[in-house]
Amino acid sequence: MADQAPIVVVGTGLAGYSLLRELRKHDPDTPVVMLTADDGTSYSKPMLSTGFTKNKDADGLAQASAENMAVQLNAEIRTHVRVVSIEADRHELVVTGEPAGEQRLVYSKLVLAWGAEPVHLNLAGDGQDRVYSINDLMDYRAFRKAVDGARRVAIMGAGLIGCEFANDLRNGGYEVDVIAPDHRVMPGLLPEAAAAAVRSELSALGVGFHLGTVVERVDAVGDGVNLTLASGEQIAADVVISAVGLRPRTEPAEEAGVQTNRAIVVNRALETSVPDIYALGDCAEVDGHVLMYVLPLMACARALAKTLVGERTEVRYGVMPVMVKTPCCPTAVYPPPADAEGQWQVESEGRDVRAEFRSPVGETLGFAVTGDYAVEKQALARKVPAIHS
């Protein structure tokens, strides 16, 4: 029964749709069912933090409806349904959604591309309904509605996403305050000098920074909120963005016996610990790497498509620098491996920073470039070792 069943892909984000595009290059006909908790609209998630700069609202960012994608990809796409359990021995899924309620679905092979969940802070106060996490197009639509006619936006979190939204919202004419616990921006990603350059350019653009502290309370005041920080500071805002991190979704795979760690554990062939179940995208830990970016998931989609048509293929991650979309201070970074020995060597002049992480024998293992030096990213990318070297 199971081998005549469709391939089931859970998730219609960039991982799910990229996989189907790749699969259809090799195999136009094998039945595929895609399941998604959202409305299945195809869009490019990185564009969510460029909406004001590029003058595009949620409709402007939508590329194709689920119906169009179903035709393009020759797949059945079921929207607004959620996988609640996996019975791996029987190759079955339990899915819920309106109006059909709970349903069972048999799969031949199951691909988990169900992404990551925004981390929600447990804050005191009665203003929580003005706090928005933006992790998909539907979130973005709700956020754009909330900021329509508003003036002041507070952003919790100064990571890549918090900084990108800060720049974009300033470009949209909003007053922006960023609150974050670390004393510098993008602490896990950028070396100090590059982080200081981005912060200083964002400040010059008018972004207010409240670093080294956290939001403790969000209280409703009229149509807006008042934020109370641990430092005692008070900030008034109309809308709050929570950009404090994403956690790869592991349930209900974990309950079904699939091995998980920081995310769903897969090898370089994207195989989980359970036969016929695969994972890619933000929910996957590939050979020890959790890389929640587009280039890694595209590489995984190409490899997994071949595996699904019978040509078992391992992914190879090359050099994949991260571009930070802060147009006030163009930035690219390729962090060194977490356990690498060495030191940052920095050339810096105002907003222009060129930092190379060198090993004790002088090998460049990572880099960060900002401002005018950002154009050097390609030359530097040729010097560093690939992730899978």
Residues lying near ligand FAD in the complex (CB under 6 A): 10-16, 35-38, 45-46, 48-49, 82-83, 113-115, 134-136, 161, 249, 281-282, 292-295, 297, 323, 325
Residue 322 contacts residue 334 (beta carbons within 8 Å): yes
Whole-angstrom distance, CA of residue 280 vs CA of residue 282: 7
Pairing of β 364-370 and β 352-358: antiparallel
Task: Choose between 22 and 224: whose C-beta lies nearer to ligand FAD.
Answer: 22
The total number of residues written for the chain in this structure? 389
We find the least distance from the C-beta atom of residue 17 to ligand FAD, in angstroms, to be 8
Which amino acid makes up residue 19? L
We find the least distance from the C-beta atom of residue 381 to ligand FAD, in angstroms, to be 15
8-state DSSP, 189: T
We find the least distance from the C-beta atom of residue 14 to ligand FAD, in angstroms, to be 4
We find the least distance from the C-beta atom of residue 116 to ligand FAD, in angstroms, to be 6
We find the least distance from the C-beta atom of residue 244 to ligand FAD, in angstroms, to be 12
Which amino acid makes up residue 346? V
Task: Choose between 97 and 224: whose C-beta lies nearer to ligand FAD.
Answer: 97
8-state DSSP, 238: S
Task: Choose between 35 and 235: whose C-beta lies nearer to ligand FAD.
Answer: 35
Whole-angstrom distance, CA of residue 44 vs CA of residue 294: 9
Residue whose Cβ sits closest to ligand FAD? 13
Task: Choose between 35 and 179: whose C-beta lies nearer to ligand FAD.
Answer: 35
Task: Choose between 113 and 195: whose C-beta lies nearer to ligand FAD.
Answer: 113
What is the DSSP annotation of 35-54? E-SS---EE-GGGGGGTTTT
We find the least distance from the C-beta atom of residue 219 to ligand FAD, in angstroms, to be 27
Max distance between CA atoms of the chain, in angstroms, equals 66
Task: Choose between 323 and 340: whose C-beta lies nearer to ligand FAD.
Answer: 323
The contacts of residue 86 (CB under 8 Å, 6+ apart) are 92, 93, 94, 110, 252, 253, 255, 256, 258, 277
Token pair 């920074």 is at which residue?
209
> Structure tokens of 21?
């595009």
We find the least distance from the C-beta atom of residue 242 to ligand FAD, in angstroms, to be 12
Task: Choose between 64 and 294: whose C-beta lies nearer to ligand FAD.
Answer: 294
